[in-house]
Amino acid sequence: MVNLLSTRDIDYLITIYEYCTTKGAARVIDVARVLGVSKSTASLMIKKLETQGLIEKVGRNVRLTSNGIEVCLEVIWRHGVIESALTKLGLSVEEACSVARDIELSIPKYIVEKLWCLLGKPFTCPHGGLIVAEESNVRPTCTCRFNVVHKHQTVK
């Protein structure tokens, strides 16, 4: 499923994930503000993601479905693994984070799994955020990809 989504789709999902895990809920206006788009643009994308079964609207709030959460968890894991591999190659953490964001969706999952094994199956990214839940009730906390989304938005 992850490979069928665009980077922009993922930006929306990760933004909603971040809001829901830190603030309990996300609103369309929150997502629009974070991503630097109009409320109507955010509404259109949210509608698209809703028809794909990745998010649902509950009143004024937006939340991830179980499929949406699964996508976010995979993206967080992919990002952390690729970022870890790139820092092992000598890139700074910031540069590795930015490059990982650019390529994380284009690398097949089985290759990311091989990298993860080669790296010793790390549970955290170079920023120290959790990329794999050790227990089923713990959500990954790595938000560095979310911060890269912010940097990409402020550059425009």
Chain segment 94-109, per-residue pLDDT in tens: 999 999 999 999 999 9
Q: Residue range 51-80: average pLDDT?
A: 94
Chain segment 115-135, per-residue pLDDT in tens: 999 999 998 889 888 888 655
CATH of the domain at 19: 1.10.10.10
End-to-end CA distance of the chain: 29
The Cβ-side half-sphere exposure at 153, using a 13 Å CA radius, reads 19
Q: Residue range 47-76: average pLDDT?
A: 94
Q: Is residue 87 located within the same domain as residue 126? A: yes
Counting every residue written for the chain, the total comes to 156
* Percent over 70 (pLDDT), the chain: 85
Q: Residue range 62-78: average pLDDT?
A: 93
Chain segment 37-52, per-residue pLDDT in tens: 999 999 999 999 999 9
Residues 6+ apart with CB under 8 A from 134: 123
Q: Is residue 115 located within the same domain as residue 62? A: no
Q: Is residue 56 located within the same domain as residue 127? A: no
Q: Is residue 29 located within the same domain as residue 93? A: no
Q: Which two tokens stand for residue 95?
A: 């540069």
Q: Is residue 55 located within the same domain as residue 86? A: no
Give 64's strand partners: 55
Q: Is residue 76 located within the same domain as residue 56? A: no
Distance CA 110, CA 132 (A): 16
The Cβ-side half-sphere exposure at 2, using a 13 Å CA radius, reads 22
Q: Residue range 63-92: average pLDDT?
A: 94
Lowest mean pLDDT, pick from 20-29, 46-55, 105-114, 145-154: 145-154
Distance CA 111, CA 155 (A): 31
Q: Is residue 59 located within the same domain as residue 82? A: no
Distance CA 82, CA 76 (A): 10
Domain count, the chain: 2
